[in-house]
Amino acid sequence: METTTRVISIGSKFPTFKKQAVTSIEKGKEFEVITNDIHTKTDKWMVQFWWPKDFTFVCPTEIAEFNKHYQDFTDRDSVLIGASTDSEFVHAAWRKNHDDLRNLKFPMLADTSKSLAEELGILDTEEKIAYRATFIVDPQGVIRWVSVYDLNVGRNVKEVIRVLDALQTDELCPCNWQKGEETIK
């Protein structure tokens, strides 16, 4: 497996996007267009996480875990967005047919053109699917943290929350720092 992608990194502006997303399973209210404005115009942080494919095995465990911690992200003035290169129709079908995904509280972004995944540098060059990637973006649209996993390995949602907490302190946070602990002065 040889790839030549370069993941967009810390300090870069998160690419502008305008994509269809599944925001509900209620008939007639399933789809909505999502743009960067979802966080930049509201002065919120954005946590955008990507998975390779719908109707797979590791992906729903991650999506369900992010959903379980949705309030943790909201409490931290952040917008949570899930994304893959599958279409909004595939997302909707998956949500309707998977017990753990029916009641998601965040949008499932559909990057069917694969343009956003490619711009982020997370598109697998062979399969043309997104890697398991997570981006934490500040309210000004600047990427502050990037994490990319192999296709077979699920991520740790609590670590994403821990890093978001640390970034929001705007201070030096030592190894294994947890919210409420002392920062380095």
**Rounded to an integer, what distance in angstroms lies between the CA atom of residue 79 and that of residue 38?**
7
**Rounded to an integer, what distance in angstroms lies between the CA atom of residue 43 and that of residue 69?**
21
Integer CA distances (angstroms), 69 to 7, 10, 75, in order: 26, 24, 10
CA–chain centroid gap for 73, Å, is 11
Phi/psi-derived region of residue 69, left when phi > 0, alpha when psi is between -120 and 50, beta in every other case: alpha
Of the residues 8, 21, 59, 133, which is catalytic? 59
| Structural tokens at position 63 | 């999506």
Strand order of the sheet with strand 18-22?
Answer: 31-35, 18-22, 108-110, 78-84, 45-50, 132-137, 143-149
Catalytic residue list contains 173: no
**Rounded to an integer, what distance in angstroms lies between the CA atom of residue 121 and that of residue 9?**
9
Is residue 142 a contact partner of residue 1, using CB atoms and an 8 Å limit?
A: no
Which residues have a catalytic role annotated? Answer: 59
